[in-house]
Amino acid sequence: MATNQSLKLQNTFRPNGRVFEVERSAAEHSAVVRMLLEDFDEPDLLVTIIPISIDTSDDTLAKVFEWATHHKNMPKPALDDDGDRDEVVTIQLASWDDEFFSDIDSETLYGILIATNYLDIKPLYDMAVQVVVNMVRGKSTKQIREILGITSDFTAEEEAAIRKETAWAYDGEEVPNETS
Amino acid sequence: MQAEQQENQRPPKNNEMDSEGTDLDSAVAVQLIVRSKRHPISGPGSAALESWVSVSSSDTLTPSPEGTACSSSQHTQPYVATTEGWREDTSAPTSTAPGVFTPGLCSSMAATRSQMLTQDGEPSVAGMVRQRKPQTQLLDLPNEVLFYILGFLEVCDLLATSRTSHHLRTLSLTPYIHKTRLRRTRALLPPLLTSPSRPSRPDLVRRCIVLTHTAFASRKLAHNLASIRLARQLAARPSAETLVERCVLPRECLPGGGGGVASALVARKRAVEKERVKDRLRGWVGSVWKGEVGRREEGVRLREERAGVGRVWRLRRFWEGVGRGEVTTAGEGGGI
């Protein structure tokens, strides 16, 4: 099977989505696309525009496909591998991936999460998740709110109740007034 | 929707359906692809229209698995998931993937979502655009993604996230996450305990980290012996009086003995006394030295000058003579 065929994918979530031309081996990172290709391996499919519908910008998708194209020769996990969470390994980012993630903003990062979750691109999804996890790990509540841009929707009473509930966990953290 | 009720009843059934669901999916996908080829998506209006067309057709075309997967994600999206059953449905990629696969269904899902969010009667493109916020935030991510992320966190981090907002609180306090965390730890610990890098007990004994009973007893015995020996030797020490007599200790160290100085200050007192003696000696030596040595130096110089001894002296006299023009060149060699 020739691997340098191109597939055309279009994001149809919003009208006039960009049509991406992706190499077949790169697009096969997506388990969704791979399943599609396995099921109908016809020349017909290669000229059709494959519609995908993801709530992300075209730029984000471009990023995803950029990653996929760079890693097109990476072995892809088996389709029935549904990722047993019992053995979680912390992923070490290779230098290229590190750079890839260092110059994307958080919005694109979230977009990548949504897109890879939809397209089922396991390696990139795991890496993006890992990046978010590293953003959160070891931070205080206030820091997490700042980093992730979360506004507290607790009322003062709820906040107090939560604090009381887990008072033992507040050692060394500055006291209240976050909500006011 | 009928499929939805099935969904709520028992999550495990999804897995059974997946295997056969793939085939059904592919059949539908073919039709949809063909359809989209025939009517290329051109404008905003037609996209929305197409999504509705495909919804209605898919309802008639597809048996339950399709509808199940898609409707489940569509309905759980805006709500907070609390039950473990829900997670098991959507967590397995195989169960969601086929459903999300078919394009028509998913644009219908998006359309329904925008309908729910904007409270519009009709799903319109305007509604979809309005639904889009200026910036994607973490909380806009689907719950399953958030779940996956939270699954990597430790207890303290989960506690921190649970205090950030209602949504994250519900998610990070879900029993499922904590159950998997515990399960993971249970899987993680035994290999660590049996890992080759963990030192064995004999090794620890050898490094004196673990004490065996005999080692403990022998150590105690050694302590006792040392203390007995020390006690004996302390008793055999000579008394302070004897030491003073032998000039090992200063007299001031005796309890009753002298000088009216506290015993702690004895050393300092001695030092001051010594310094005073040194000062006196230095002054005496200085005066003697200056007078005596100065006089002697003067005498030596005069005598040398008188006798004309010393090479330097003779050289100087010679060159002074040359300067005055007294010495001839013939006499030069003899002069030097």
Give the count of domains, chain A. 1
Q: What percent of chain B has pLDDT over 90?
A: 9
Measured in angstroms, the CA of B2 and the nearest CA of chain A are apart by 25
CB B153 within 8 A of CB A90: no
**Which residues of chain B are within 8 Å of residue A7 when distances are taken between CB atoms?**
none
Quick one: tokens of A166? 């887990």
Nearest-by-Cβ selection for A111 from B136, B184, B187: B136
Query: Residue A156 domain-assigned?
Result: no
Tell me, yes or no, if A35 comes closer than 8 A to chain B by beta carbon: yes
DSSP-derived letter for residue A52 is: E
Rounded CA gap, B92 and A81, in Å? 10
Task: Report the Cα–Cα distance between both ends of chain A, in Å, rounded.
Answer: 63
User: Is A124 a domain residue?
Assistant: yes
Assess A151–B contact: CB distance below 8 Å, yes or no.
Answer: yes
- From residue B196, how far is each of A24, B185, B192, B199, B307 by CA, in Å? 44, 19, 9, 7, 97
CA pair distance B153, A134, nearest whole angstrom: 9
Residues 95-134 in A contacting B (C-alpha not used; CB under 8 Å):
106-107, 110-111, 113-114, 117-118, 120, 129-130, 132-133
Nearest of B105, B251, B1 to residue A53 by alpha carbon: B105
At B80-138, the pLDDT tens digits run 444 343 444 443 343 333 333 334 444 444 444 444 444 444 444 444 444 444 566 77
pLDDT tens for A59-92 read: 888 888 888 888 888 777 766 655 554 455 556 6
pLDDT one-digit tens code per residue, B179-224: 888 888 888 788 778 877 778 888 888 888 888 888 889 999 999 9
Q: How far is CA B153 from CA A43, B85, B140, B162, in A?
A: 45, 21, 19, 12
Q: How many CA atoms lie within 13 A of B198 on its CB side?
A: 8
R_g (Cα) of chain A, nearest Å: 21
Please tell me the predicted confidence (pLDDT) of residue B57: 42
Within chain A, strands assigned E span: 6-11, 19-23, 49-52
Q: Nearest-CA residue of chain B relative to A117? A: B145
**CA–CA separation, A42 vs B315, rounded Å?**
119
DSSP A152: P
The shortest CB-CB distance from B141 to any of A51, A113, A151 is to A113
Chain B contact probe: residue of A9, A19, A63, A117 with most B CBs at under 10 A:
A117
Report the pLDDT value the prediction gives residue A90, as an integer from 0 to 100.
59
Count Cβ neighbours within 10 Å for each residue of B66-86 and write b for 16 or more, e otherwise: bbbbbbbbbbbbeeebeeeeb
Asked if A51 and A92 touch (Cβ cutoff 8 Å), the reply is: no
Which domain covers residue A101, as residue numbers?
6-67+84-136
Give which of A42, A67, A41 is closest to A119, Cα–Cα.
Answer: A67
Mean pLDDT, all residues of chain A: 76
Reported confidence tier of residue B67, pLDDT bands at 50, 70, 90:
very low
Question: Is the predicted pLDDT of residue A38 greater than 50, yes or no?
Answer: yes
**What is the mean predicted confidence (pLDDT) over B129-149?**
69
Stated pTM of the model: 0.45
Domain assignment present for A148: no
| % of chain B at pLDDT higher than 70 | 53
DSSP string over B40-96: ---SHHHHHHHHHHHHHHHHHH--HHHHHHHHHHHHHSSSPP--HHHHHHHHSHHHH
Residue B23, C-beta contacts closer than 8 angstroms, at least 6 positions apart:
none
Tokens 């996929």 correspond to A68
Q: Is B20 on the interface with A (CB under 8 A)?
A: no
Q: What is the overall mean pLDDT for chain B?
A: 66
Burial class (CB in 10 A: 0-12, 13-18, 19+), B163: buried
* Domain contains A113: yes
Chosen for mutation from B73, B74, B145, B181 (greatest number of chain A CBs closer than 10 Å) is: B145
Run of H or E residues at A46 = helix A43-47
Mean pLDDT of A13-17: 77
Task: Inform me whether the pLDDT recorded for A130 exceeds 70.
Answer: yes
Distance CA B18, CA B69 (A): 10
Tens of pLDDT, residues B221-276 = 999 999 999 999 999 988 888 888 888 877 777 776 556 667 678 788 889 999 99
Beta bridge partners of A9: A20, A50
- pLDDT of B259 reads 60
What confidence tier does B17 reach under pLDDT thresholds 50, 70, 90?
Answer: very low
> Distance (Å, rounded) from C-alpha B147 to C-alpha A45?
35
Looking at residue A70, its pLDDT comes to: 86
Tell me what ipTM this predicted complex has.
Answer: 0.77
CATH no. for residue A99?
Answer: 3.30.710.10
> Would you list the DSSP string of B88-132?
HHHHSHHHHHHHHHSHHHHHHHHHHHHHHHHT-SS--HHHHHHHS
In a domain? residue A157: no
Tell me the pLDDT tens digit for each residue of A89-103. 556 667 788 888 888
- The answer to whether B66 touches B21, Cβ cutoff 8 Å, is yes
Pick from B83, B89, B88, B104: which is nearest to B33 by CA?
B104
Percent of chain A with pLDDT over 90: 0
Both tokens assigned to B74: 């569509």
**A–B interface: beta-carbon pairs under 8 A:** 151
Which residue from B94, B132, B184 is facing A88, i.e. has the nearest CB?
Answer: B184
pLDDT band at A27 (very low <50, low <70, confident <90, very high): confident
User: What pLDDT shows up at residue B257?
Assistant: 59
Cα distance between residue A73 and residue A69, in whole Å: 8
* In chain B, alpha helices (H): 2-9, 13-38, 44-61, 64-76, 84-91, 93-101, 103-118, 125-131, 143-150, 155-162, 166-172, 175-193, 201-206, 213-235, 240-245, 266-307, 311-324, 330-335
Is there a domain that residue A123 lies in?
A: yes
In a domain, A141, yes or no: no
Q: Which residues of B touch A137 (CB under 8 A)?
A: 153-154, 157
Contacts 24+ apart (CB under 8 A), A43-46: A45/A7, A45/B33, A46/A5, A46/A6, A46/A7
Tell whether A28 is covered by a domain: yes
Q: Give residue B30's pLDDT.
A: 45
